Amino acid sequence: MYSLDDTIAAISTPIGQGGIGIVRLSGPEALAIARKLFVPARGELADGFVSHRLYYGHIVAPRSGRIVDEVLLCYMRAPCTYTRQDVVEIDAHGGIVALREILSLCLESGARLAHEGEFTLRAFLNGRIDLAQAEAVLDIVTARTESALRIAMQQLGGHLSRRIREIRARLLDLLAYLEASVDFPEDELPPHEVEADLLLAEGELAELLRQAERGMIYRQGVRTAIVGRPNVGKSSLLNRLLHTERAIVTPIPGTTRDTLEETIALEGIPFVLIDTAGISETQDTIERLGVERSRAALHGADLALVVVDGSQPPDEADFQVAALAATRPTIVVVNKSDLPPASDYATLLPEAEHIAVSALSGAGIPALEKLLVETVFSGQIALSDEPLVSNPRHREILRRAREHILEAYRARQEGRTTDLLAIDVTEAVNALGEITGETASEELLERIFANFCIGK
């Protein structure tokens, strides 16, 4: 998988119909393969292919001479390319048949099909980007909001990597001092503030971990379960928040029999809204399965919207739903505010925020959207200019590195031997290297790049 000596090829645009589609090649034979397949529209290329210039012509099957497609071709000479190898991109029409035929001709001419993420992997292995930047490429592709895109672009630009390298460099200096103290105990070494260095590193890692909590929200979204007994307006509320008729709405209780997920962005925060079946006792087998899925959705949610019918007094089913939601942040949405109120629902989850809305007219919906944002960040929603950690792998590594630093600090405070202290500092240094790639194993690389599409 990690050989850089062969030439890889893949379709780099989504499968389906579109205006254009791109077949990409990278490797030492990329230009030679292009010469076999590409026929310029205006005869021979007088000066050969000039790097980073578009050429108009056709892809022609070498054996039959049949024109496969009308294309634009760009040759990019190493090292000024995405992979730091020779790269050829063929811009063809977006039909899958044409793209697959062009790819097949590339493979017949000496290329092999790329693995998942192998173009970006080569960019990493050739030193163009580090591992954190490589992962940011995938985050950019999958970003669901402008804020998520901004965080990913910061990471691609190296903001997080620079911060990690600064912390790691200071720890390496500290480690060099500790190891010298062990290896040359008789020598007089310059004074070094060991405890101060450890506390500084711990503080910086703790700050990155605090940012990670927000970064994870921007990246993954807030899973928000819309729950309640049947026929209180859960699906109507989903449609109103989405500003589209996504869920089926009828006066018949039990219309929704499965969970339905849709994403909205509120002030840059993605909320994954989960419309659920009404939670109630039922003898209907299919409806009972829907209720079980509703309970599972609520169990896995970050936030619950408990919807009640404000035109009717609360019944036992409302309190049962409220009890299920009580273990997580909850907003009680008193729906049907356009009708005369039957109860203020004050006794239903009194510690939770209550808000009156009308999914029918839209009254109260802007206030609910504002409350959703405030519930997530307690009103502090402005995105910091500091680099944010938004990757679960990075958060776990930072947590592990901080634990080793704290253990090293405790060892220093308790007067344990220097070699024991150095072990924890070494573990912290190696952990941080897993973020930028200095200490990444082949198994880790395979796991990371397996999440990419083949053409990236």
Question: 4-28: per-residue pLDDT in tens?
Answer: 899 999 999 988 888 899 999 999 9
Range 54-63 average pLDDT: 95
Grouping H, G, I as helix, E, B as strand and the rest as coil, residue 89 is strand
Q: Is the Cβ–Cβ distance between 328 and 351 less than 8 Å? A: no
DSSP 303: E
Percentage, residues of the chain above pLDDT 90 = 52
CATH number for 138-215+391-436: choose from 1.20.120.430, 3.40.50.10210, 1.20.120.530, 1.10.8.60: 1.20.120.430
The string of pLDDT tens digits covering residues 174-233 is 999 898 888 776 666 677 788 999 999 999 999 999 888 788 888 878 889 998 888 888
Residues in the chain: 456
Q: Is the Cβ–Cβ distance between 455 and 24 less than 8 Å? A: yes
pTM score: 0.79
Predicted local distance difference test score (pLDDT) of residue 278? 67
Domain 221-377 is classified in which CATH homologous superfamily?
P-loop containing nucleotide triphosphate hydrolases (3.40.50.300)
Tokens of 293: 């899925």
* pLDDT over threshold 80, residue 319: yes
Q: Do domains 8-129 and 138-215+391-436 have the same CATH topology?
A: no
The string of pLDDT tens digits covering residues 348-383 is 888 899 999 999 999 999 999 999 988 887 644 344
Predicted local distance difference test score (pLDDT) of residue 246? 55
The reply to whether CATH 3.30.1360.120 applies to domain 8-129 is: yes
Phi then psi for residue 310, to 5 deg, are: -70, -10
C-alpha to C-alpha distance for 170 and 55, rounded to whole angstroms: 50
Grouping H, G, I as helix, E, B as strand and the rest as coil, residue 262 is strand
The ranges assigned to domains in the chain are 8-129, 138-215+391-436, 221-377
Q: Is the Cβ–Cβ distance between 60 and 117 less than 8 Å? A: no
- Which amino acid makes up residue 373? V
Range 303-330 average pLDDT: 88
Q: Is the Cβ–Cβ distance between 178 and 421 less than 8 Å? A: yes
